[in-house]
Each structure stands twice: as C-alpha cells, then as structure tokens.
Amino acid sequence: MTGPHGAAFSGRVGWGASPALVVVDMVRAYTEPDGPFALPDPGPALAACVELVEAARAGARPVLWTQVRYAANLSDGGLFVRKVPALAAFADGADGDWGAIAAPLAPAAGDVVVTKQYASAFAGTSAAATLHARRVDTVVVCGVSTSGCVRATATDALTHGFAPQVVGAACADRTPALHSANLADLDAKYADVVEVAEAVERLRGR
C-alpha cells in the first residue's frame, strides 16, 4: 500500500514463521443495525474475518478474540468510559448482549478470548504473554474499527515484538475515508497492510 508519507516510511515488518489470528471486537455492537456502535457496512469485513478464522483453524494457528466488558458500575472503565459514554453498553447486566461475538463467528475450544477495557488487545490484558508462550511471532489483525481498536492493537503488537499484518478488507470503519486513511498510516508506520488471500495462505501454512 502506498501513501503520502514518502520514502522515509517504506519498510516492511514481514512475516515470521508462526502467525496467530487476532479478531478484534467483531461483536454485535458493531454489526447489528441497532447496535450502539453500528457500522454502515460491516458485512464484507465480517465475511473476510470468517475466511481468516477458517484458514487459521485449517493451519492449526492460534486464534485470539477480544471483547470489551466492564463492571456493572463502570468502575473499571477509567477515563475511556467518560470520553465514550456509549461504552456503557458493554457493562455487566446491560441490555442487548452487545459484547457477544457476531454470528457466524464463534470462538472454538482452544481459542483464547481476551476481555479488555481499552482499545488495544494488549492494554492491561494477558494477550502478549499468551501469544509469546505459544511462540507466536506474527499477528494477523482483523476486526473493528480500523481507526480505533484495530489500529491500537496493531500498534501495540509492534511494541510487544510481534510483526503486525493488518488485513484491510477484514476491517471496517464508519466511513471509507476513515478506513482508508488509517490503513495507509498503519502501513507506513506500524504494520503491513495485506490482502485477504495473502493472509489466508500464511495462516494455512503455505
């Protein structure tokens, strides 16, 4: 992917030998039309995530899912829930079960489901330790939203020593402009943005 950043930002992190798939917040709050964070067109990204999960299973690669969850009184939400009040939809006991993984996706036995309170899958969670323990060196990132939790997760993956591969077509955001701009910036600075077909082949072990 090219962008306006120039030749100074032309490197690639590349693929390691042991990838894992990280499915970021692909939950009902974003995919259902009446969800508190409903996206205008989550269908294509959801379908691409399904394809990636199938490939990871076929290649016996680890799959890590993230969900946002807060205490009923939001006491563990810090300033994030003050900044984004709609996050109260993820509190224990809230109506709608908006934090449930969106169908037809579903974690399987042996997958890791990480509960988080902030944007990144790595912020205050066991994700990094879990992946390092399984000798993972590359994380394939998909989910929502591109400018939010996907971006934060990919950036933190690099910080934690994983090679981030963001599957652009398996992510979604509120507008095409937000989606495209964040993919371009990620590709320039923090991750490699890749196509679904490339990620599928790598996850399958080809």
Query: What percent of the chain clears pLDDT 70, i.e. is strictly above it?
Result: 97
Residue 8, pLDDT above cutoff 80: no
Residue 180, pLDDT above cutoff 60: yes
CA distance 40 to 46: 12
Residue 66 lies in a domain: yes
Residue 118 lies in a domain: yes
Active site residue 49: no
pLDDT in tens, 83-116: 999 999 999 999 999 999 999 999 999 999 999 9
Residue 12 lies in a domain: no
Residue 4 lies in a domain: no
**pLDDT-derived band at 72, boundaries 50, 70, 90:** very high
Catalytic member of 49, 142, 149, 171? 149
Residue 15 lies in a domain: no
CB distance 70 to 90 below 8 Å: yes
Residue 75 lies in a domain: yes
Q: 69 is in which domain, residue-wise?
A: 22-204
Query: For position 161, which CATH number holds?
Result: 3.40.50.850
Residue 2 lies in a domain: no
**pLDDT-derived band at 4, boundaries 50, 70, 90:** low
How many domains does the chain fold into?
A: 1
Residue 5 lies in a domain: no
pLDDT in tens, 129-150: 999 999 999 999 999 999 999 9
Calculate the average pLDDT of the chain: 95
CA distance 151 to 186: 7
Q: Give me the pLDDT at residue 2, please.
A: 46
User: pTM of this prediction?
Assistant: 0.95
